[in-house]
Amino acid sequence: MLEHLKAYLQKKVAITDEQFALISDKLKVKHFAKNEMILMKGDVSAHGYFVVEGLLRSYSIDSKGKAHIIQFAPEQWWLSERNGMLYKEASDFFIDAIEDTHAIVVPSDFIVQAANIVPCMNDLNHTILNNAIRFMQKRINMLLSATAEERYLDFIKLYPNLTLRVPQWMIASYLGITPESLSRVRKDLAHKHFKP
């Protein structure tokens, strides 16, 4: 399973097999069963996850018990709760497995330690952080100003293989709309002969 992370890293930075062997000694592969809770609100998490196979999600639950999905993490995506990882603070979010999932558990100091051996890992870290910021800025803008159809089309572009893997109510939660609104959007798009 670690070979998947090595292949991912080797696409992004110049890292040899020998260097990966040196930096991967603290990485662990973990299996999460479908619906398994990985992180509870209030927990402090000291690591993130690189998804090898399966699907994770992060979400919050409001005072009325409604779930608000923040992010999905399919294969080759990273998922972490940064308050815990970086600041040792309690999580505001939950993380669970939507499918049976194999993920690599990555300690919070992985990049720092790896950069001592592979300096270009710092550049990768900056790229990942900048992409996360861009993703969240776009997501906030979509939630504030885009129509339900625009949000759904953006979801399909970002997560092209998830429409058949994720229940419709979860997609609606991610989009910030009701399942009924999502159903109307899908019907309207079908009338326009749109195929995801």
> What CATH number does the domain containing 114 carry?
2.60.120.10
* Residue 126 resides in a domain: no
33-57 pLDDT tens trace: 999 999 999 999 889 999 999 999 9
Going by pLDDT thresholds of 50, 70 and 90, the confidence category of residue 27 is very high
- Buried b / exposed e across 166-184, counting CB within 10 Å, b at 16+? beeebbbbbbbbeeebbee
24 has a pLDDT exceeding 80 = yes
Burial class (CB in 10 A: 0-12, 13-18, 19+), 66: exposed
Answer yes or no: is 95 within a domain.
Answer: yes
Residue 164 in domain: no
> Domain for residue 105, yes or no?
yes
pTM: 0.92
Considering the domain boundaries, does residue 10 fall inside one?
A: yes
171 within some domain:
no
pLDDT of residue 146: 97
User: Residue 11 domain-assigned?
Assistant: yes
* Residue 174 lies inside a defined structural domain of this protein: no
Residue-wise pLDDT for 81-111, tens only, equals 888 777 888 999 999 999 999 999 999 888 8
**Dist CA 58 CA 92 (whole Å):** 10
110: domain range?
A: 2-119
- Structural domain total, the chain: 1
